[in-house]
Amino acid sequence: MTAAASPVVLVHGWGGSFASTWQRTGFTALLEDAGVGIIGVDLLGHGTAPKPHEPEAYADLTARIVERLPDEPVDAIGFSLGAMTLLRLAIDRPERFRRLVLAGIGSNIFERDQSGTRAIIEGLETVAGGGDPAALDNTVRLFTQYAGQPGNDLEALTAVMKRPVAEPITPEACARVECPVLVVVGDQDFVYPADELAGSFPDGRCEVLRGVDHFATTESFGFFDAALEFLDAVC
């Protein structure tokens, strides 16, 4: 067994939580078996965090990560919204990270699809108003199902989607992240491919999960294997 020398920060995606994304899947147990310390984060609007209903409250999602970071550089794993939030933080404060695993992001980073976001918001509002989710586009329907998990606040999650649009992330900005970065994406994910994103980091590489879609990423054994090996946390 080789244990990582620093704790690992785990950041879930939209509609998830530390408990549902990392503990329920058994990923935290694998890290613990490898002797790795864990710092679990619930983003604002999710899990055990406060759940305001005003979109402006979600302008800076990095704050809850920053308040959990120790003084020394850490390893970190983020999925989807969590990966995007970690990336923004690493661009602004690259010295805080030793290694990064960014899962469930790819082509959406440099080519933001605002029409897709609007469709998801409309779908969430349709469901909140008692509309039939079966009439929605398949991807939008999956987002509404994800939002309907126990413990979620639909109005808060809709506000997260409506948050103020942040500055675009560029390849030039990603080049400031000098630590090793592993980008993990399923080839059935709507954000696939991720080669351009991985190639924008000075020390980046991409792992493609065959036959895996967006929502199945963090439950995939391929993801488990790639992330643990990258962090030297393999028993």
pLDDT in tens, 49-59: 999 999 999 99
Q: What does the pLDDT read at residue 234? A: 75
Q: Does 150 map to a domain? A: no
Quote the radius of gyration of the chain (alpha carbons, Å).
Answer: 17
Q: What does the pLDDT read at residue 2? A: 46
Indicate whether 9 pLDDT > 60. yes
Q: Does 148 map to a domain? A: no
Q: Give the C-alpha separation, 57 to 64, whole Å.
A: 12
Q: Give the C-alpha separation, 194 to 77, whole Å.
A: 16
pTM for this entry = 0.96
Phi and psi at 10, nearest 5°, equal -115, 125
Q: Does 137 map to a domain? A: no
Confidence of residue 5 (pLDDT cuts 50, 70, 90): low
Q: Does 27 map to a domain? A: yes
**CA distances for 219 relative to 20, 26, 225, angstroms:** 11, 9, 11
As for how many domains the chain has, the answer is: 1
Q: Give the C-alpha separation, 202 to 196, whole Å.
A: 12
Averaged confidence pLDDT in the chain:
95
**Cα-to-chain-centroid distance, residue 221:** 17
Indicate whether 222 pLDDT > 80. yes
Q: Does 117 map to a domain? A: no
**Per-residue pLDDT reduced to its tens digit, 102-121:** 999 999 999 877 899 999 99
Helix, strand, or coil (residue 79): strand
Q: Does 29 map to a domain? A: yes
User: H helices within the chain, ranges in order?
Assistant: 27-33, 63-66, 81-92, 107-110, 114-128, 138-147, 154-161, 171-174, 195-199, 221-230
Q: Does 175 map to a domain? A: yes
**Per-residue pLDDT reduced to its tens digit, 122-174:** 999 999 999 999 889 999 999 999 999 999 999 999 999 999 999 999 999 99
| In the block, residue with structure tokens 């991985």 | 198
Q: Please report, for the domain that includes residue 80, its CATH number.
A: 3.40.50.1820
Share of the chain above pLDDT 70, in %: 97
Q: Does 63 map to a domain? A: yes
